[in-house]
């Protein structure tokens, strides 16, 4: 009887060179599998909700500038922006549209976004100082839109708009520019305060503070901000309200800095036709007012002194001194909508008038050195809708965050190959 012996074929011997080659192949395989496609290939998506302040100056409007700047930052997967805007629209109207099936905003908020930017009508946030019902309705609308933004997976950015060049002519208590800007800042800070939760922060992009920075730099240099041809005047369209291309660019820069925390002074993109020196000055202004992006709220003025003018208003002190912050002797009589000031054919931001009690609501008649509001010092939530956040972590939303599983996979494959070689050596 013959016994049949079957001898296993010996394992091939791996030289050091081949061993290293195998490791290189495994490393390449691991790297190609290492990042989830949802993170590596997905574009940065931002939705802008507002009115003519957002869509003015097309094709170099605010959202177009935002897209170009984010693209220059090298955002992984590209950049997609979409705007839902209408002339004179208020957040109350946007919130109503968002709830109605089939509307553009309803459909847009059903999609995933990384960032949703909310911009209110140009006067309403300042009406907080007057205790206006319109501000209370605006706040409710902001919170409602923020809830929908959260469901879409987005971070909400409140776009703080800018005071009008000459102040609000229909509301004397909102003149001059810096007084209006102070009240706008307080209104936007309150939006963010009320919509934030302990686990989710709502941020404010302080475009208005960037406008103020340009204003105050002129004052510090001994100039007049309202002089014809000044850098401050150049931020506005001829109506003294809507942004010029420079104003839209400056606003976009503050949003980019708020979202990403990126160093704006290292960027180079600017709208076609804008002088390089002008673009550099605007980037520096936006950089200075958003010190630690993402921005956590109104923590002080653009000036180091923390006051509305850096402790000295120079040339603008006289300009501010003759104005009052309220219609003396009047009380809050509600809001009167005035459409006569609309720019025909432009769908402009609708002007409104609201009364205010000087002592109770403004409290800073003639002052040019008012401290900016601090989100952390805001009063508690209105109606208990949301609790204020005690803080937030800084996240670079502009550059895609990649969840790497590649190197753990490489280690696993390497260990497997090592076990195979050890088994070969045992034969």
pLDDT digits (tens, 9 = 90+) for 281-336: 999 999 999 975 554 433 233 332 333 333 223 222 223 322 333 332 222 222 22
Helix 276-289 / helix 207-220 crossing angle, nearest 10 deg: 110
Between CA 211 and CA 302 the distance in angstroms is: 10
Cα dist from 187 to 56, 321, 354, 386, 406, whole Å: 23, 23, 15, 17, 47
**What predicted TM-score, i.e. pTM, was given to this entire model?**
0.68
Helix (H) or strand (E) holding 46: strand 44-50
Tokens of 93: 């109207």
pLDDT digits (tens, 9 = 90+) for 202-230: 999 999 999 999 999 999 999 999 999 99
Nearest to 154 by CA among 68, 80, 104: 80
Lowest mean pLDDT among 3-17, 91-105, 179-193, 317-331: 317-331
Architecture of domain 43-384: 3-Layer(aba) Sandwich (3.40)
Q: Where are the domains of the chain?
A: 16-34+407-426, 43-384
Average pLDDT across the chain, whole number? 74
């Amino acid at each position: 009887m013959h016994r049949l012996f079957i001898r296993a074929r010996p394992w091939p011997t791996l030289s050091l060179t081949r061993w290293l080659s195998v490791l290189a192949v495994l490393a390449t395989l691991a790297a190609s599998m290492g990042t989830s496609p949802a993170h590596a290939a997905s574009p940065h998506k931002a939705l802008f909700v507002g009115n003519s302040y957002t869509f003015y100056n097309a094709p170099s409007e605010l959202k177009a500038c935002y897209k170009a700047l984010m693209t220059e930052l090298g955002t992984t997967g590209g950049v997609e922006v979409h705007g839902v805007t209408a002339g004179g629209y208020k957040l109350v109207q946007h919130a109503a549209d968002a709830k109605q099936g089939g509307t553009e905003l309803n459909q847009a908020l059903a999609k995933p976004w990384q960032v949703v930017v909310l911009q209110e009508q140009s006067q309403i946030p300042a009406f907080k100082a007057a205790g206006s019902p319109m501000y209370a309705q605006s706040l409710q609308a902001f919170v409602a839109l923020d809830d929908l933004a959260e469901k879409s997976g987005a971070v909400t950015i409140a776009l703080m708009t800018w005071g009008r060049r000459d102040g609000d002519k229909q509301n004397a208590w909102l003149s001059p520019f810096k007084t209006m800007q102070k009240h706008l800042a307080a209104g936007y800070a309150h939006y963010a305060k009320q919509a934030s939760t302990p686990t989710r922060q709502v941020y404010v992009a302080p475009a208005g503070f960037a406008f103020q920075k340009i204003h105050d730099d002129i004052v510090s240099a001994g100039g007049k901000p309202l002089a014809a041809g000044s850098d401050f005047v150049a931020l506005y369209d001829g109506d003294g309200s809507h942004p010029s291309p420079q104003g839209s660019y400056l606003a976009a820069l503050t949003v980019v800095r708020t979202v990403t925390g990126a160093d704006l002074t290292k960027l180079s993109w600017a709208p076609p036709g804008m002088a390089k020196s002008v673009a550099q000055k605007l980037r520096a202004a936006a950089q200075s007012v958003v010190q630690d992006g993402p921005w956590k709220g109104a923590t002080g003025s653009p000036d180091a002194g923390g006051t509305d003018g850096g402790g000295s208003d120079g040339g603008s002190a006289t300009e501010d001194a003759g104005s009052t912050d309220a219609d003396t002797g009047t009380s809050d009589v509600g809001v009167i909508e005035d459409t006569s000031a609309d720019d025909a054919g432009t769908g402009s931001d609708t002007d409104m008038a609201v009364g205010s009690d000087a002592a109770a609501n403004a409290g800073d008649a003639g002052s040019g050195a008012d401290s900016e509001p601090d989100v952390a010092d805001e009063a508690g939530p209105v109606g208990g809708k949301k609790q204020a956040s005690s803080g937030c972590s800084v996240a670079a939303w502009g550059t895609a965050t990649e969840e790497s599983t590649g190197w753990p996979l490489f280690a696993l494959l390497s260990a497997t190959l090592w076990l195979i070689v050890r088994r070969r050596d045992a034969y």
